[in-house]
Structure 1
Amino acid sequence: MRRPSPLPPPPESERAAAKAPSGGAGPSTVRSERPVPVVREADLETAPVLPLVRPGERAVDERLIGDDASAKDAEGPSLRDVWRASRARRRALSAEVKRFTVRQRRRRRVWIGVGAAFLVMVLGTAGAAYSPLFAVERIDVVGTSQLDASAVGEALSGQIGTPLAMVDDSAVKAALVRFPLVESYTLEARPPHDLVVNIVERTPIGVLQTPAGFTVVDAAGVALSTTPDAPAGQPLLEITGGTDSAAFHAAGRVMRALPDAVRSQVTGVSASTPDDVTLTLGATGSRVMWGSADRSGEKAIVLGRLMEKSPPDRAKEYDVTSPEAGVVR
Structure 2
Amino acid sequence: MKRPQGFEHRPPPLPPAAARPERPGASGSKATPKPTSKPASTSPGKSAPGSTPASSAPTEPIRTQPAASAGLAPVFPFRRTGDGETGTGTATGNSPAGQPPGQPLTPRAARSRLRGARRARKQYEREEVRRFTGRSRRRRTTWLVGLGTLAALIGFVLAGAYSPLMALRTIEVVGANRVPADQVTAALEDQLGTPLPLVDLAAVREELSRFRLIRSYAVESRPPGTLVVRIVEREPIGVIPSRGDFDLVDAAGVVILSGDEPQAGYPAIAASVGSPGFAAAAAVVESLPAGIRTQLTTVTAATKDDVTLTLDGGARVVWGSAEESDYKAVVLAALMVGHPVGDVDEYDVSSPDSAVLR
Q: CA deviation at 1:179?
A: 0.7
| TM-score when normalising by structure 1 | 0.75
Amino acid at match of 1:42: I
Matched with 1:325 is 354
The match for 2:341 among 290, 309, 312 is 312
Asked if residue 72 in structure 1 is aligned to residue 84 in structure 2, the reply is yes
Matched with 2:280 is 250
Asked if residue 207 in structure 1 is aligned to residue 239 in structure 2, the reply is yes
CA distance in structure 2 between the partners assigned to 1:110 and 1:85 by the alignment:
36
Q: Does the 8 A contact of 1:212 with 1:226 survive in 2?
A: no
Q: Deviations over 1:43-102 (max 9, x none)?
A: 4564899xx9xxxxxxxx944x24x6596348xxx9999998887666544433322332
Q: Residue 82 and residue 279 in structure 1: after superposition, are their counterparts in 2 closer, same or farther (change >3 A)?
A: farther
Matched with 1:279 is 309
CA distance in structure 2 between the partners assigned to 1:184 and 1:94 by the alignment:
70
The match for 1:294 among 307, 323, 343 is 323
The match for 1:172 among 204, 207, 227 is 204
- Give the paired residue count: 285
Q: Percent identity?
A: 41
| TM-score when normalising by structure 2 | 0.70
Provide structure 2 residue ranges, at least 5 long, that are not aligned to the other structure: 1-23, 26-30, 39-58, 87-109
The match for 1:193 among 221, 225, 236 is 225
Q: CA deviation at 1:223?
A: 2.0
The match for 1:136 among 151, 154, 168 is 168
Asked if residue 269 in structure 1 is aligned to residue 289 in structure 2, the reply is no
Amino acid at match of 1:216: L
Asked if residue 156 in structure 1 is aligned to residue 188 in structure 2, the reply is yes
CA distance in structure 2 between the partners assigned to 1:141 and 1:70 by the alignment:
93
Other structure's SS at 2:159 match: helix
Q: Deviations over 1:237-268 (max 9, x none)?
A: 101xx212111111111111112222222111
CA distance in structure 1 between the partners assigned to 2:82 and 2:325 by the alignment:
116
Other structure's SS at 2:273 match: helix
Greater helix share, structure number: 1
Provide structure 1 residue ranges, at least 5 long, that are not aligned to the other structure: 19-38, 53-60
Q: Deviations over 1:173-228 (max 9, x none)?
A: 11111111111111011111221111111222211101151112221222222222
Q: Residue 174 and residue 62 in structure 1: after superposition, are their counterparts in 2 closer, same or farther (change >3 A)?
A: same
Matched with 1:123 is 155
Other structure's SS at 2:341 match: coil
